[in-house]
Amino acid sequence: MKAGKTVMHLLFAMVLAVSVSAVGTSEAASVSVDQKSTVHHGTKVSFETHSAECGVCHAKRFAEWRFAAGSDMKTVGVGSYHAIGSTEPMYTSMLGMMDQSMHEFCQGCHQGGNALVVADKVNDIPASRPANPEEGTNCLSCHFDGKKIVGGKDLMDPVFCAACHNEKMGMMSTYVEWLNEYKGGKTCQQCHMEDGNHVFLGYNSPSFIKKAIAISEPVVPETISAGAIFDIGFTLTNNGVGHSVPEELIRSMRAKVSIKDVSGQEIFSQETVYYKRHSFFGENPADTVVIKAGETKQVSIPGVVIASAGIYTVSVELLQDSNRLNSAFNTTAFMGSTYKTIIVQ
């Protein structure tokens, strides 16, 4: 299994290289980083400026970005995912598998340059930033347009996020999903940057991800006899996210139904898996199974049999895996659970 996943991981890298080559060196190449500078409150700022220099005045936001400070992120002390975007092990591993010609495409977002000057943010991505590559998507990526510092209301339009969270090859379609499916009235920034925080809460925040999907209590027949077949039903409702879950191509979500006896021994377990399919992985996109914004999935587990009479607990546990292609880089996030006690006669 592990070998198979490694092969698929390599296949992804090779196919992506071919796909990007087909449209040119990449959209990023046409959106160059402007090397001009400006003076902001007495400090010279350019794309060579270190984010720590911004932190002298913007200490709280810098600490949030650089260390994920004040959050329950799994990367607290290491950094927000914007800060570690170019150094995070899964990314660097995939980059190492790709041809050198592919690096500019990936670095356009993971080593973000000037997102503000990307004209078609829904389809294109920024050019990479040559200076300070270890800073991932840094302060300048979003707040400097090559001429002036930009902030506040000028960055509150969700389409700004599309510069890296949407592109035409289908690698990332978060913005289009939000635009077409979400009816909740919140923007990307209102959910992921509440009160202006620069931690960019998401998958790696246990408290944040638990708000994503509402899980109903398991539904079973009123009377269950030992040895008799019955079904377990439940619903999953995406009422807390402005886009599909799971969102990224390499993530998967598992709804695990289990039955345990009074001693805690598991006597039954079955998972329903959700993830996006893409031709990059030799998959048929039509087979994609996700939970769209506002959607409720009715889930049925048929053919369940409990052999002996007694008291049992039925549980539904929702888990999300960060990397379905390579278990070496996978982390699993707990999204919630529900329970029901049953008596088998």
The C-alpha atoms of residue 224 and residue 53 are separated, in whole angstroms, by 66
Residue 4 has pLDDT above 70, yes or no: no
Residue range 242-252: average pLDDT?
A: 95
| Topology adopted by domain 210-344 | Coagulation Factor XIII; Chain A, domain 1 (2.70.50)
Phi (first) and psi of residue 304, to 5 degrees: -85, 140
Computed over every residue of the chain, the mean pLDDT equals 90
Residue 61 has pLDDT above 60, yes or no: yes
Domain ranges (residues) in the chain? 2-200, 210-344
CA 238 to chain centre: 15
pLDDT tens, residue by residue, 37-55: 999 999 899 999 999 999 9
Residue 7 in tokens = 């092969």
Give the residue from 279, 281, 228, 290 showing the smallest Cα distance to 253: 290
**Is 293 within 8 Å of 264 (Cβ atoms)?**
no
Phi (first) and psi of residue 205, to 5 degrees: -105, 110
CA distances from 312 to 18, 196, 229, 264, 334 (A): 53, 46, 15, 9, 23
pTM: 0.87
How many helices and strands (H and E) does the chain possess?
10, 9
pLDDT band at 30 (very low <50, low <70, confident <90, very high): very low
Give the residue from 110, 129, 106 showing the smallest Cα distance to 13: 106
pLDDT tens, residue by residue, 84-129: 999 999 899 888 888 888 898 899 999 999 999 999 999 999 999 9
The C-alpha atoms of residue 110 and residue 99 are separated, in whole angstroms, by 17
Residue range 135-142: average pLDDT?
A: 96
The predicted pLDDT at position 35 comes to 54
